[in-house]
Amino acid sequence: MALIVQKYGGSSVGTIDRIRNVARRLIDTQKAGNRVVAVISAMSGITDKLIGLAHQVMDNPPERELDVLLATGEQQSIALLCMAITDMGFKARSFTGGQAGICTYGSHTRGRIDTIDAAQVIRALDEGCICVCAGFQGVAQDGSIHTLGRGGSDLSAIAMAAAVKADICQIYTDVDGVYTCDPRVVKDARKIPVLSYEEMLEMASSGSKVMQGRSVEFAKKFSVVFEVRNSMNNNPGTIVQEENSSMESLAVRGVSIERNQARVTVSGITAPVAYTSLILNALAEAEINIDMIVANTAHDGMARQSFTMNMNDLGKAQAALKKLLPKLGKGARLETESGLAKLSVVGVGMRSNVGVAATVFGALAEAGIATGMIATSEIRISTTVDAGDIEQAARVVHAAFHLDRA
């Protein structure tokens, strides 16, 4: 008998019909001889709707109250799902984050999971129940409700799987798994059968938003094997696990794209020596998540530094850096460029294969696509291109690595 944690996202429980579909799937899993724990998101659109309501009341709703409000989204879906299971003649029990023993710390709307005491859930499993837990929420030591950041149900599911020592954690969503590239952009993209945690993390952080990045980090830390699957069929999905040597045979496993990128350049920097730290601090204080960084000293002795970030942060970044300019030298200037996109190739095989970057930039050059800033990690190469070129860039790079072939 296996213990399986199944997570269903908002679109999988978006209507009463879909809730019934999930109920049936959970029952089938139990009937196949497994112990079943479900972790569920709010019905699709509900979390956004609740945020909208809060902002109709006031501009900056207190985050404590926002958490109380947002947690109700998942509370609805777990209750409805348990009713659907009960209606089909099977035993189900719902658990809010607190009831499931999920203890959190940190700040409201960005809570972090501290510990999970899954004793109640285990007891209900022993009684033959399908356990249905609310994703995205937990309770702090002082009893106040925390939510775990957008997309946080993924984290709840992985953490529950670790706590109950599940044999596998299945993450059900509206796609069949992780693809070699977004199939809407590259028609012959294929589903990737197995990925390492690192590859999944790099793909998540470079635009392939199948899962919340933090949840993948958590899975890696606690060695939780998980599988991304489609809740509307029974196709095998993408299994994400510890790296093994067979994963290195391919230099590149996938191509990710991220749109809505912007670049900021500070040029004419003459002072002081620690300017990089000043700039990065100013951006960090403004809570801007920067991505690529390129720094160079020009021949006239003036330094320049460029960063990329999401378009939405451009205004904030400009404001933060404008204030800083006088400290960076008399001639310090700010330039910005929007309308960029980022293309990344990811694969653990890059460590042991040479010529990967040459292939990427060769394919782009041949297609006449200009590249901008470049950044690399051990298993990722990223470059910015004009937003209008990103789809063609993805197609030519995908083809250059023969990712359309098994």
Comparing CB distances to Mg ion, the nearer of 11 and 96 is 11
87's enclosing H/E stretch is: helix 63-87
Binding site partner of 67, from Mg ion, ligand ASP, none, Cβ cut-off 5-8 A by kind: none
Site string for Mg ion, 136-175 (x = CB under 5 A): ---------------x------------------------
Give me the helices (H) in 134-265, please: 153-163, 197-205, 213-221
* 152 is a site residue for ligand ASP (CB under 6 A): yes
According to CB under 6 A, which one of 150, 190, 259, 333 is a site residue for ligand ASP? Answer: 150
Binding site partner of 237, from ligand ASP, Mg ion, none, Cβ cut-off 5-8 A by kind: none
Cα–Cα distances in angstroms (integers) from residue 277 to residues 72, 281, 292, 324, 367, in the given order: 42, 6, 15, 12, 38
* 9 is a site residue for Mg ion (CB under 5 A): yes
Comparing CB distances to ligand ASP, the nearer of 113 and 385 is 113
Comparing CB distances to Mg ion, the nearer of 154 and 198 is 154
Query: Angle between the 63-87 and 16-31 helix axes, to the nearest 10 degrees?
Result: 60
Rg (the chain; Cα; Å): 23
Residue-level length of the chain: 406
* 136 is a site residue for ligand ASP (CB under 6 A): yes
Comparing CB distances to ligand ASP, the nearer of 136 and 172 is 136
333 forms beta bridges with 267
Distance CA 128, CA 93 (A): 10
Comparing CB distances to Mg ion, the nearer of 147 and 308 is 147
Ramachandran angles phi, psi of 288, nearest 5°: -100, 130
- Determine how β-strand 35-40 pairs with β-strand 130-134: parallel
According to CB under 6 A, which one of 14, 73, 111, 237 is a site residue for ligand ASP? Answer: 73
According to CB under 6 A, which one of 42, 145, 328, 356 is a site residue for ligand ASP? Answer: 42
The DSSP string of 13-76 is GSSHHHHHHHHHHHHHHHHTT-EEEEEEPPPTTHHHHHHHHHHHH-SS--HHHHHHHHHHHHHH
Comparing CB distances to Mg ion, the nearer of 9 and 213 is 9
* 47 is a site residue for ligand ASP (CB under 6 A): yes
- Amino acid sitting at position 123: R
* 97 is a site residue for ligand ASP (CB under 6 A): no
Comparing CB distances to ligand ASP, the nearer of 153 and 231 is 153
According to CB under 6 A, which one of 104, 109, 153, 215 is a site residue for ligand ASP? Answer: 153
Residues in touch with Mg ion (CB under 5 A) = 9, 151
Residues in touch with ligand ASP (CB under 6 A) = 9-10, 41-42, 47, 73, 135-136, 150-154
